[in-house]
Structure 1
Amino acid sequence: MSKNGFITLLVVLVITALVQSIVIVRDTEKAILLKLGAFERTLEPGLNFKVPFIDTVTKFEARLRSLDTPPDRVLSSEAKPLNVDSFVKYRIVDAETYYTSTNGGQSRVAEDTLQRRIKDKLRNEFGKRTLNEVVSGDRDGLMLSLKKSLGEDSAQLGVEIIDFRVKRIDFEREIRASVFERMKTERNRIAEELRAEGRETAEKIQADADKQRTIILANATREAERTRGEGDAVATSTYAEAYNRDPEFYDFTRSLRAYRNTFNDQGDILLIDPDSDYFKYLNKSEPN
């Protein structure tokens, strides 16, 4: 081999060794370094180095994962059968534990293990609750208990449970009618409570409206009486002033007003002495 060929080969080997020694770990990944197949250390995100041909790197997806479990048959505390469909959101947080507990980081092994534990948790949590509590109880509390219970065991897999949700609960045919009747009764109870609250609120509003009406009428009556009194006082003062200026003319106008009020209807009949003061001004009038 010529000298130039040897140098070229050496350069290629050096470049290859450098390339093989550089490892880039993204923020969305978890990675571990294996030395001769045995765990050595966990790699941090960014630029890392390894020994070529001796060290190997295994990477795992660190972003959120979903596991949709098949419907499982569970029993309530009264031994009533239920079909529960659920799903789990999780992510890898400990790459070393995940690698060692899943036979080298096999996703299928991790999901099978999680499914078995999910079934156990569903049976345990539903077994503590009656059918009524499952149907009308605290559903959020149930799922929170499931998430907490599963999360305590998930650390053994190196994963963190982000969410645990029950998508659907189906009832067996023999209990479906009783469940629907119970749901109907519960809804009717809630509706009656709402109606009672509505009636109570309506009565309060009506009572307040009646109170305001009474107050407004009383104020209006008082104001009307005051205004009427002021008007009567002005009228009396006006009459007195007119009488003081010309008593004879005042008597005459009062007599005319009395005649008009007395004979307002054509059918009115008045029996009175013709010489009475009532006809004083009529008797003084001269016929045309």
Structure 2
Amino acid sequence: MTNKSLFALILVGVLVLLGANTVYIVNEYERAVVLRFGALVNSDVQPGVHFKAPFADRVRKFDGRILTADARPESFYTVENKRLIVDSYAKWRIVDVAAYYKATGGQEDVADARLASRVADGLRNQVGRRTLHEVVSGERDKLMTDLTEELNISARELLGVEVIDIRVKRIDLPDDVSDSVFDRMAADREKEAREYRATGREQAEVIRADADRQKTVLLANSYRDAELLRGDGDARAAAVFADAFNKNPEFFAFVRSLEAYKKSFSAGNDLMVVDPSSEFFQYLKNAEGQN
């Protein structure tokens, strides 16, 4: 290899090295700053292709997506002096790259640790102003909203990050008080169940009494209507018989006598001791059926 070729090869290598230290790319999901001999010269580099002073400038890139700071479980006391073990996490992202770099040195784990510490302090304050029921279910959403708004102000100013959301993964009672709390909760539920049963029995008695009353009223009205109909029928029947008797009293007497004969001799072997001259046989003596 000649000296000219070696020089050309060295020149190409220098140019490649110079280009690699001059051009840099920031992706869409990244945030970046440029340092010149350790001093911050560009605090917020936008995504795209950029140039820098070779060897003098250094580019620090950070993840600009939403990140998660997972806090370790902490013990907090409610306003009732009940101890709770709360496991939480926070969602955050960089909004002020310069402040973020100055506060954390661009290290994500440092930002997570500092943010988790502030989340724990905020939770301690929020839990300390509420009862056990409010923390667990009654005002849980409001607690998270208030904590997020409160923490977001200080996080923007001190860390250069935006707290998007804070959530509680789990709330536990300490082992030394969980049994007593569960026993009390069971007693409260049993008390409510007894009250519901008593209310149900009372309502059942009211409904049963009302049904019995309606039954008695319906039976009385039905019996009244039946007696009225029966009386009206008897009256109409008596009127019909009376009208028929008035039209032909002799025939009516004859028919009644025949009915009496039929009932008297229905068995076929009955024995009657009667005066032959009595009125019972008056139509049997006359072949023409005359009295």
Aligned partners of 1:239 and 1:162: how far apart in 2? 100
Please list the CA deviations of residues 157-215 of structure 1 after superposition, one character each: whole Å capped at 9, or x if unmatched.
41324242251322242x44543342233223322332244335434543554465456
Partner of 2:268: none
1:127 paired residue number = 128
CA-based RMSD:
4.8
1-structure distance, mates of 2:231, 2:212? 28
What is the aligned length? 255
Q: Quote the residue 1:109 is aligned against.
A: 110
Query: Aligned residue for 2:48?
Result: 48
Gaps in structure 1 of 5+ consecutive residues: 264-271
Larger of the two Rg values belongs to structure: 2
Q: Distance in 2 between matches of 1:220 and 1:39?
A: 104
Seen in structure 2, the aligned counterparts of structure 1 residues 176 and 245 have a Cα distance that, compared at 3 Å, is: same
CA contact (8 A) 1:88 1:161 kept: no
CA–CA distance in structure 2, aligned partners of residues 218 and 30 of structure 1: 90
Instruction: State whether residues 61 and 92 of structure 1, in contact with CA within 8 Å, keep that contact through their aligned partners in structure 2.
Output: yes
Aligned to 1:139: 136
**What is the CA–CA distance in structure 1 between the aligned matches of 2:284 and 2:41, rounded to whole Å?**
140
Check whether the contact 1:90–1:160 (CA below 8 A) recurs between aligned residues.
yes
Identity of aligned residues (%): 28
* 1:268 corresponds to: none
Cα 1:275/1:195, change in 2 over 3 Å: farther
State the TM-score, normalizing by the size of structure 2.
0.61
Once the two structures are superposed, the pairs formed by residues 97-246 of structure 1 within 5 Å of their partners are 97-104=99-106, 106-129=107-130, 133-134=131-132, 136-137=133-134, 139-140=136-137, 141-142=139-140, 144-154=142-152, 155-156=155-156, 157=159, 158-165=161-168, 167-173=170-176, 175-206=177-208, 209-210=211-212, 212-213=214-215, 216-217=218-219, 220-221=222-223, 224-225=226-227, 227-228=229-230, 231-232=233-234, 235-236=237-238, 238-240=240-242, 242-243=244-245
8 Å Cα contact 2:26/2:49 also seen in 1: yes
CA positional deviation for 1:87:
1.8
State the TM-score, normalizing by the size of structure 1: 0.62
Q: Partners in 2 of 1:117 and 1:240 — Cα distance?
A: 110
The match for 1:74 is 76
How many angstroms apart in 1 are the aligned matches of 2:186 and 2:215?
Answer: 42
Structure 2: 5+ residue runs without aligned partners? Answer: 266-273, 286-291
Q: C-alpha separation between the residues in 2 aligned to 1:89 and 1:250?
A: 113
2:94 and 2:256 map into 1 onto residues whose CA distance is 110
Contact 1:117/1:150, CA 8 A, preserved across alignment: no
Q: Secondary structure at the match of 2:173?
A: strand
Contact 1:33/1:40, CA 8 A, preserved across alignment: yes
Instruction: Give the conservation status (yes or no) of the 8 Å contact 1:147–1:161.
Output: no
SS of the aligned residue for 1:50 comes to strand
Conserved? CA contact 1:50–1:56, under 8 Å: no
Amino acid at match of 1:112: A
- Counterpart amino acid of 1:34? V
The 1:162–1:150 alpha-carbon spacing in structure 2 relative to 1, beyond 3 Å, is closer
CA contact (8 A) 1:33 1:58 kept: yes
Q: What's 2:271 paired with?
A: none
Following the alignment from structure 1 to structure 2, what is the Cα–Cα distance between the partners of residues 227 and 87?
A: 82
